[in-house]
Amino acid sequence: MTQQTFKAYDEEIPRYENAVAREEYRVNRLKLKKAVKVVNEALWKMGQTYHDSWPAVVAEIRHLLLWNGFEDFGPVVVANEGRFTRPIGRSSWISISYYVMSSGRWEVTAYVS
For residue 41, the SS3 value is: helix
Backbone angles phi, psi at 44, to 5 degrees: -65, -45
pTM of structure = 0.79
**Looking at residue 16, what is its pLDDT?**
66
**Looking at residue 83, what is its pLDDT?**
94
> pLDDT tens, position by position, for the chain (113 residues)?
555 555 555 555 566 677 777 888 888 889 999 999 999 999 999 999 999 999 999 999 999 999 999 999 989 888 888 999 999 988 899 999 999 999 999 999 999 99
Within its chain, how far is the Cα of 7 from the centroid? 43
**Looking at residue 18, what is its pLDDT?**
77
Dmax (CA) for the chain in angstroms is 83
Q: What range does the domain containing 41 cover?
A: 3-112
Q: DSSP alpha helices (H): ranges in 47-81?
A: 54-67
Number of domains the chain contains? 1
